[in-house]
Every structure is written in structure tokens, then in C-alpha cells.
Amino acid sequence: MSQSTFPVREGQNVPQVSFRVRRNGDWATVTTDEIFGNKNVVVFSLPGAYTPTCSSTHLPRYNELWPAFKAQGIDAIVCLSVNDPFVMEAWGQDQEADNVFLLADGNGEFTEKMGLLVDKSDLNFGKRSWRYSMLVRNKKIEKQFIEPQEPGDPFKVSDADTMLAYINPSARKPDQVAILTREGCSFCAKAKRALKEAGYDYVELPLPHTIRSRAVGAIAGSGTVPQVFINGRLIGGAEDLDAYLRRAA
């Protein structure tokens, strides 16, 4: 398929295909009807598992924004790639992408019927999917975001934030929360409990003693832990967090 002839299939049904997948270490077959029938599904397709953009941004952001998509009535997020089922299963485990169904289009049948199978032999990839996303409601494609027909692997429109903004520009995204800690710190444990009780899903960054003071000083301008950040804003230590949560209540 030439990259200059990508078809737009909005208003059409997704292709009828049976997929062989790996589930819990065993084989299973799933069909287009099972995946899309009577469901609202977001699909994003990418050139390959373990490749840089796919692993660093494309898959992780969809996985992170699943609560926001779910709140907008989306039943599932599907990541599709022309890879074999073993690779997709292992990649999903490696990425801890529990909120996304990683679907192997091993023979490229679905991708070819979508008109988005491209030749990446110059990268020793063979036939792969062009990068795109789409919103499918009960098997019918409502919206597609197909990456521009440029050399290489453009990543401008098929991202999770663009799709969520299409579904609802005012959709609330999960807060991004990180906490700097050290082992055995009672104030760190208190702050983590407070975040959990307030419903925040946080990332913990435990710092070894060899770099802790320099790291905390450089990042937070402080000499102690914990240090909590919410959506890029420094909240501070355990007492600062308590005050922030009281104001937000």
C-alpha cells in the first residue's frame, strides 16, 4: 500500500477478522465482533512493539489515561500492531499496560483491510501498520486520526490526548503525582497514606542515601523527604501535603 493512498474509513465498519492471541500463557481466538460489537472502543495502531516512540509515549499515555476514557463511556482501549502474539504479550507485561488490550495482527490481515499496511523493509521490519488511532462505536468507525504521510514515523495526531480531546475537550485527566522518599521514613509513609486515602494514584521515587540530599535539593529545593509533586507543582513535605488536601477537600 502506498503511503499516498491511505483511505479514510469513517462511517464504515471495521474489517471482519479473527485474531489469534495469547492469554495467560495459552492460545485464544477473538473476533472483530467480540472486540467491537455493542462497545465503544478506542484503537491505536503502531509500527512495532518495543520500538522507541511506541514504548516511551504512545502506549504508556493511553494506559495512563484509561480512567478518563472510561469516564467518557469508552469500554476498552486496544493497541494493535503487526507483531506476533508472543511479542505483544511480553511487551504488555514489560510495560505494565494493564489498562490496554494488546492485539497482535500477526498476519497483517486487519491492517491490510484498513488500507494501512505499509512496507518498512528499509528498517528490516517488513510489512507493518502505519501509525493511527480511531474511535469505534459498535463496529462502526466514527473518527480516525491517521499520521501525516511523511517519511519516517511521524507521531503528531494519534496520541491519547488528541483522542480524548475529540471525545470530550473538557474531560478530566488523572492527576500526575510523584513522591520522593527514602526507606524507613515515617513521614514518607504518612504522606503516601494521605495520598492513597485522597484517591491519588502516585509514583514513588525512593532515593538512595548516596544521592538523596543532592537530588532533593536540586529537584525540590529542600533537604528532606518526602517531597510531593502534583501536576508539575511542588506541594512539599507531609505537613504541606496535609494542608493542600484540606484546601482541595
Active site residues: 54
Closest CA to 132 of 113, 114, 105: 114
CA within 13 Å, CB half, 81: 25
Positive or negative torsion for Cα 17, 86, 80, 75: positive
C-alpha–C-alpha distance, residues 238 and 240, integer Å:
5
Please give the Cα distance from 166 to 92 (Å, whole number).
26
Helix 238-248 vs helix 186-197: crossing angle, to nearest 10:
10
Count of CA atoms in the C-beta half-sphere (13 A) of 244: 18
